[in-house]
Amino acid sequence: MSSFVFRGKRIANRMWRPNLILAAWALCFAGNCQAGDEIVASDGVAVRYANLSEMQAESIARTAAAARSVCVDRFGFDMPAAIAIDVAVDPAGPVRLFNDGADRFSLSVHDSASLRQPSASGVFHLYGLCHEVAHLAMYQPVQQRRWMTTAAAEGWAHYLGSRIVDDVYAREGDALWWDPYDYRADGMLRLRAQLAGAEPGDVARGAGLWMELAEIIGDKKLAPLFAAWGGAEIDPAQPGDALFAQLKAIADDPAVDAWWSRAEPVFVRATPRSPFDATAPRSGVLSKIETELVADDGTPAGKRSTAGGGHARRAVAPAGQWLLTAVRVFGSRYGGAGSEAATGEVWICDDQNREIASFELPYDKFPRGAPQWVRIDVHPTPVPAEFIVGVSFNPTATRGVFVSHDATPDGQSLSALPGRDPVAFDDGDWLLRPVLALHSKSRTWTDATGKFSVDAALVDADDQKVALQTNDGKAISLPLAKLSAPDQQFVQSVVGGEQGGSSTSDSTAANLHPREACTDDGKPAGRKSLPQGNAVLLEAFPGGGSVTAVRIHGSRYGAPRVTGEEFTVTLCDEDFEPIREFKFPLEKFRRGTAKWVTLRLEPTKVPEKFIVCTDFAATSTKGVFVSHDAEGEALVGKPGQAAGTFSGGDWLIRAIVAPPTP
């Protein structure tokens, strides 16, 4: 096996000539080399390193190169033309090895002694390199792996990696590793011992299933199978159907049927589809009136490119029928020539992170270099009252999109993919803004005199005029001032000001949109059920506003069914004097884990400071636990009955407020 060493900007040739691909990798590394960095390469693998011996680096390169050759020669996999491995020595860092899903590995160790054989270091480095090469054998053909469980992906790499170890030993012997040893013990011998144990573990069980499949269909059919899976149209909600059909096309054997019946529950993960009906309304028109839901402060403080994850945020739609028409993201693309051809996804989920719809997101929407606001238009799609919107790019070390975030998280931003448990993103809020357009239904419009009226849908509006469309499709433009006062108020309640600008900081425009008023930090720290009532003092816009919804984070306790039971939400002024009361079924709150519940209200005018009171008629056997955060002082009371304060934190009770009518 041939190898060469590259130091600084000089290639030191050994008794052979490096091929052009490896020279290209060396030059690629050279652009990023720091003082002391060196590169050693061997048959399709280049290793950049510092603070290691040349012999150690060569053993890493030769091992990965041999593993790559096994994948091609024995199994017929289409492997990357070259693999780049970065090795970092950090006494304070972790010892770990991972791949980018394409053609790069990152290995970090404490010191050079960390690379000794497993009996001395406790780490299976040689096996680990074979394991990562096995990942690439799968990841090259199967680019979209949302359906794949950890047991499937890691089990495959464990199985094939173990097979590769044995084949590499047959080719290279003990002397391959710089600290020679009989590494056959790290291969199939170890895997078979794990499978024979009392509790093999999920990854070992997955490896065992892959081993069974290889024995049924043969080594040479694994690569065509993965190619077929990679090219198949797979329904995320029922991925098993397409996967099994492709498997049967490769090997129509009764033994395959039996294998699949055991493998599917272990290997395949469905992305649950939301029960929300996202069918576009048949009546009415999609207006030009848009609102941008802003949770960030518009100031980028950092950026992320997340492999194996997505950038997402929770959002609350204003009252009325709104459709998602676009998502605006502040970000930038990285990668060389060809990276613009890659694609990601825009997706919408309900508040349980069950998928509603997804759309292709071309990388070329984003500029290279300095980040910019990018608008991604999508097919107009209805959204529920509470929803999650996200973007994902399946990035690698050499291509991806950096999404910016601000410095102050409010609990709305997530690291998530559809169907998986979302994780709060604590470093800030993504600069990611869903854009909703109003779907307008026909209503009766009356002029200021009350003498003239027309049935039409609202198409567009500003502070001077409105555009309407009659039921027979005729377009009408009217001065806003000539409409009746109720019609003017209706227009202001849905328009709420002009669309936000494209700059990264546009608080004036953002404040003209309906917004969520709250005092909590979004992080539940406890819960209470108070017979005296939970209340929160909130602020609307200067001059007041109209409340269109109330959101409460809580859970019900007591009997499983509460048919016919109700609770009340009352909007009050800051002295607890009632403005308007609303009743809702108690079953809106579920038992168990507390969740956000959105309650739609008829738009109700409130002063600049107002109180939201809740009354669940709580007893020791029936009621709702309302969540609170860890700091602050909340109110206790019912309409006309202020009952003091609660010093344990702020209630997680919020209101959606539209701007006041001019």
How is residue 30 written in tokens? 């050279």
In a domain, 276, yes or no: no
Give the end of a domain, one of 403, 438, 473: 438
| pLDDT attached to residue 36 | 66
The answer to whether residues 51 and 150 belong to one domain is yes
Question: Residue holding tokens 């198949």?
Answer: 232
Same domain, 233 and 220: yes
164 and 306 both lie in a single domain: no
Domain membership flag for residue 280 = no
Q: What is the CATH number of the domain that holds 541?
A: 2.60.120
The candidate with the shortest Cα–Cα distance to 591, out of 627, 560, 552, is: 560
Q: What is the pLDDT of residue 31?
A: 47
**Host H or E run for residue 608:** none
Report which of 289, 294, 345 is spatially closest to residue 316, judged by C-alpha positions: 294
- Determine the Cα–Cα distance for residues 566 and 615; give it in Å rounded to an integer: 9
Q: 642 and 546: one domain?
A: yes
Domain span holding position 187: 4-267
Q: Give pLDDT, residue 335.
A: 85
Q: Radius of gyration (Cα) for the chain, nearest Å?
A: 30
On whether the CB atoms of residues 553 and 527 are closer than 8 A, the answer is no
User: Could you tell me if 300 and 403 lie in one domain?
Assistant: yes
| pTM higher than 0.85 | no
Of 244, 249, 237, 242, residue with least CA distance to 261? 244
Check whether residue 173 and residue 238 sit in a common domain.
yes
Of 620, 482, 607, 625, nearest to 555 (Cα)?
625
Q: Report the mean per-residue pLDDT for the chain.
A: 88
Q: Let me know if residue 273 belongs to a domain.
A: no
In a domain, 572, yes or no: yes
Number of structural domains, the chain? 4
- Domain membership flag for residue 508: no
In a shared domain, residues 364 and 472: no
Last residue of a domain, one of 234, 267, 300: 267
Residues 120 and 214 in one domain: yes
**Does the residue 565 lie in any domain?**
yes
Highest mean pLDDT among 69-73, 528-532, 631-635: 69-73
User: By percentage, how much of the chain surpasses pLDDT 70?
Assistant: 91
Q: 63 with 154, same domain?
A: yes
- Residue-wise pLDDT for 541-566, tens only, equals 989 999 988 989 999 999 888 888 99
- Percent of the chain exceeding pLDDT 90 equals 69
More confident residue, 130 or 103: 130
Supply the pLDDT for residue 500: 36
Q: Residues near 100 by Cβ (< 8 Å), separated by ≥ 6?
A: 106, 307, 396, 397, 398
Residues 183, 39: contact at Cβ < 8 Å? no
